[in-house]
Structure formats: structure tokens, C-alpha cells
Structure 1
């Protein structure tokens, strides 16, 4: 949807401020670039409810910092009441944020919706002995992947080579917990463990949907991990991956989502991450034959059309704001019609 300057000016954005400047910086820049009125709302304040009640914003946006578990919990709790008790609009949606930086929730969602992922098991360890846990790992081959529920750029990920390493890790988690590295030493992960199938010799793709725009590129490996390598392969993403991204976003009614997808040597795909907010430092998240651009899906022809241009400015928030404003305008039209 191509919006006019008047349409942008007709919607006020509420930018929810977190703990750091980065939580508002990119959204502020995007609002100013697009000419959208905005407010900054202190969302971490004890008076956050009053702050929301006093706001004139039509829709709220956020870029949460979730480096430690308590911050993730705070945002989830406040987002829940913002949407479900106060009736406010949030972009991306509460459901997208609920999955964000929570590998347990993501694994449950993917399994329930029959989406491809590496075999994943979430174990809860309280009051359980090691001998009671080991049968839960039957069917896994080594090496085996362990993950904490929170953590990006491969933080909190361990590759376990054998059963002895797995037992040692489980004993540690049961006894004193696990601290991911890099991470906060006070943010001890205990009481649970996430184990996942290791996909050998895998390529990793990142496929992105924001509104009606789709992007893709390959994440190259460094130090044994693709995530956090900051190495990018600007290859044309396979159309099967674009359709997988579309299927997932249609199923979840997701507006802004990045999929990290592993491709094994036989060409099978496995979703390893779903992130509604993601690293987006380049002003284009896709280059085809050196040209920046995006894919648009044409429903009538069931075909993907490449549009050249730069679409990911300001951490991709320009696109998010365009879509958020479109949602508000569409709802206004529907209310008028009724």
C-alpha cells in the first residue's frame, strides 16, 4: 500500500521506550523520515499504565531489549495487558512478540502448526533425577544441540558431542543452572533444557516478511555457527522458502517475521528461528545479481515479482510503520462502513 503524506500525518504512533536509547532511536528516525506524528512512552516506568492512558497514539510499536529473562518477562506481561485489558493496538502483534526470543514458545507453535523444524524437545527438570530424563532423549543422534530459551547470535547454544557431555550438562543445570555466554551471570537458566536435532552440513537462510514485502539471503558460517556470524551470502532465495515464509505468516497472521531456515544436503528445510524484530543494519535485506530489492507475491498469478529498490531503512522500521499505518487506516474505513 503506497501511502500519501496526508495519510501518514493522520496516524499517531506511540513508541514504547525500553531500557536503552536503541529501543526508540530507529523508530523515531523512521517516523521523522516518513512524516508520521509520534509520542515516546516510558514503558518500563512503574507508571506505565498511566502513561498509556494519557497517550493519544493510534497504535503502539516497540523494539524490546530482551537480553535477560526478566526483561523478556516484563515486555510479555505488559504487552498482554496493553492489548487484552486496555484494548490498544500493538505492532507487531502480541502473538509475534510472545514467540520472540522464546525458543520454547517457538517450538510449541511450530509443532502445533505442523511446520518443519529440527526435532525439538523441551524438558522440565525440577524434582526429576538424571535417570528419569535420559529416556526423553531417545531417538536423538549425536551431536545434539542444547539451547537456552532466550539468546540471540548463538548465545546459549552448545553442541553436545556425546551422551557423557549431555549428562554432565544436565547435572549442572539441575544442580546450579546454566549461564549462557555471552550473557549476564545473574541470568541463570535452570529448571528446563531444550534439546534439538543437529542438522549436519546445513546451509542457513534468512527469509523475511514485513507487510507485503519479502526478502531473503543466506547466513554464512563462522566459528561453527551461522547465527551471529555477520557474514551474508547475497543469493536469490529459493521460491520454496518464500512460500514457507508466507505459509507460516498466513497461519500465524504475522505482520513482521524473520525465519532462519536450515537446508540439509538433500534440500529439506527446517525452521530454527522465528524473530519478529531482527538485526537489519543494511538498507536492503536482499540483493539479486547485485540489485537491492524485495519480492511481492501476486495472488492472482501465484507468482513472485522482484521490485528493485531499498526498502529496509532504519532497521526495517520504515516498512513496519507503513504497514502499521495501513492497518489503522483500514480499520477506520471498516468502522465508517459499519
Structure 2
């Protein structure tokens, strides 16, 4: 039997297989509220047969958004809009649904990618002042973020808690905290972005402090039977930056706090990064976290072929596979993987007649 299509337990959440749709920003919200695009996009992916669908990076405050088009869950209007979308998705799909909570930190107030992704200055009509661990811009020439004081840290922690409370009311099955790709929690972890000299900077223990505080607060607020886990960049790919040793230490600390899994990516905190791209280039990091921290891991990054995904799971390098761009390109990837690996997959009855002749029962 295919290992990729074996069930998996993430905390109290049971997944029918080990294919996870990783969060993918759509930059198509209106004042943080999910739009009709989200109805189409999430509804489409919900029919894929994957084991879990994680909603895109969702801002915990207006200032936490990467761009003016980011999805948010910080107001009643946001919550009502997302409830409408999730209601339609659940009507036609039983796929488990999780949400990724995020604060963009110094990478906030940016143009959407197809408009270049540059910083929107705070004096522009659609821009705002960013905030971060230290007053160090992401790119030279950008307006520097405001260094967070203790009141700012308390406010942001409270924003994560309030958003987790809204996620619970919406019936979402899990929460992923975004501590990767150069956003706020990653900025605290990385010495490239964190130049503080208080209890939240300097040593590894201090740099991990705020991300761990946020995790503890969200874990305490979200229902005990629903898992909370973390997405992390395992390395900055820059000498002197955050690295895999720090990631293992963070993972061990999170394991002791009830973290359900680690979603292991890399990079994003510095434009000086040099990433050796290649098939499965990040899997080695997921394997090390799994081996040394004892947590289930989700491997992601240029995993595109069913045999490749199967080998990663069968070889014990990770417990699940995250697919992002590959799923956008081929939203029926799990169907095709099941056909290739001799497995079965969930699909709506309306689509059963699409099964090619000559295949064993696929659906």
C-alpha cells in the first residue's frame, strides 16, 4: 500500500492521507475580507482529494498584512466573510481545513507580487508604517520599521489570540503559526533582523522567546482537541543567520509545549540569501527536525512527482508532504498520485465518471 495515502494524526486531527495543501497567498481580499475569488479558489482545492487544506497566510491585524489585498481575520466583517466561504466549501467537501496565522512585520505594506512586490511607503494612500523586532529594513532604501516596545509585543500577542478565537468560532480544524519566510516571528528568530539587546534579542533563548510566547497564547486559546503547529524557515541561507541548529532547538521547545507538527521551509528573511534550488532541496531539514525533535514534520519545496513524495514518506524523512505551486498547476495532483501509486482518493460523485478507462477503482 502507498505510504503517501496512509492516514495521519496531527494532534487530535485525523487526516485521510499525507498530502497537505500548503498556504498560498492570493492577495485578493477586500479590507481583509475573503472575496468571491476565495470561494472559487478554496472550493476548487477542496475537491482535490488532499488530506488537509491550509488557508493562506491570514493577518491578525490590518498592520499585519503583507499587502492591502491580504486575507485577514481581525474584524467581525472578516469573520463573516470567511464564514460564508467556508460554509460553501464544507457543503460539498469533507476535507479538513486549517488556517495559517501571520504578522508580516517589516515585510508588510507591500505591493502584490504581480505589481512588483515593492514596499508601499507609509505616506502613500494605501501604505502604513511597519513594525518589527528592530528598526532594520528588509531591503536597502526601504522605510525602516518601528522597533516594537513591550506594549507593542503585548498588543501583537493579543492580536494572535483574538484571531485564534475567531478561527475556533469558524470551526477551523487546526492553526498553523507562520514563523517562516521572513515575517514577524521569523524576524525575531533571525539575528539578521533581530538586533535587540533586551530579553527578546541576543541569545538563541531570547530570540525564541516571543515566538514561543505567541505559540503558548494561541495554544491556550484554541480548543484543546484541535492542533496548533508551526511553519518555520529552517535556515536563512545567509552566513550568520538563522540555521538548522536553531530550528532543532526551537522544535524541541515547541514539542514540550504541545506543538502538533513542524512545517519545514526555508529562507525569506534576507535578500542576500543564496538558495541551492533543486528537487526536494528542503527535505533534509524536515528529516533532521523529525529525527532530533521527535515531532511530525511536513516537508515542502520542489516536491512535484508522486514517486518523489512517496519515497520521502517511505524513507522516514517526513510524515507529510506540503504542495503549493504544484497544486495550483495541477489541482487534481492527489488523484493522479493515487492512480500512479495504486491508491484510492476521495472525490465528489459528480466527478467519478472522469476516471480513465482501464484504471482500478480510484475513487
TM band (smaller chain): 0.3 to 0.5
Q: Return the structure number with greater strand share.
A: 1
TM-score scaled by length of structure 1: 0.33
- Greater C-alpha Rg: 1
TM-score scaled by length of structure 2: 0.31
